[in-house]
Homo-oligomer: A and B are copies of this chain.
């Protein structure tokens, strides 16, 4: 992790900000958190491994303060556990990932049910368009586009549901990254299955059928989750 980060144009009495920095400067702790999270989810730490704060701080080239903040966040997410005065332990393993899938499925189900009740005309229209675009991308096997559309689809449902907290929680239950995503989406059969599911969910929401939307969403998330699980851990469980 690089120490330097303030090479932005240092407000030199110019206009009030024309150049919006794309990524907006994140706090150091957020970099650290992201870095650690990725490392944990990639299995770079053995499950149960004791971590040393000082060593980690040194390795990441930051002081212990932002590191500690990042660790507290990861602790709140459940990825690590803190034994007071004794250190940190990584809690993430295949079983944990499996529970993340279940949590994600449960939460997305709840959101889908909300969306079926609350979606306005605009949201329904956008959702339909997204699914239509997804159909095209699936035919063309445009993986990158498909990944983006997938996020878009779920994001639109979240917005239609007017859920903030639920959406946040869902976002926390993601244990795979773009690499795994590309691997998954490469399977054309799976893409077609996913498209079927997406259409079904969309239809249920349009029909205001909250129960069906919820059930379909749950099944969809669990199915694709298991796929990711096998991609990341190379195994499946019942």
A76 at the binding interface (Cβ < 8 Å): yes
What CA separation (Å) do A69 and B70 show in the bound complex? Answer: 8
Give which listed residue, B68, B69, B102, contacts A110 with CB less than 8 A.
B102
* Tally of chain A residues near chain B (CB < 8 A): 38
What is the chain B residue whose CB lies nearest that of A168? B78
A106 CB to nearest B CB, Å: 4
Copies of this chain, complex-wide, total 2
Binding-face segment, A2-10, A13-21, A40-48, A158-166: A158-166
A177 at the binding interface (Cβ < 8 Å): no
A24 at the binding interface (Cβ < 8 Å): yes
- Interface residues of A, Cβ cutoff 8 Å to B: 24-27, 29, 65, 68-70, 72-73, 75-78, 82, 84-85, 91, 95-96, 99-100, 102-103, 105-107, 109-110, 114, 163-166, 168-169, 172
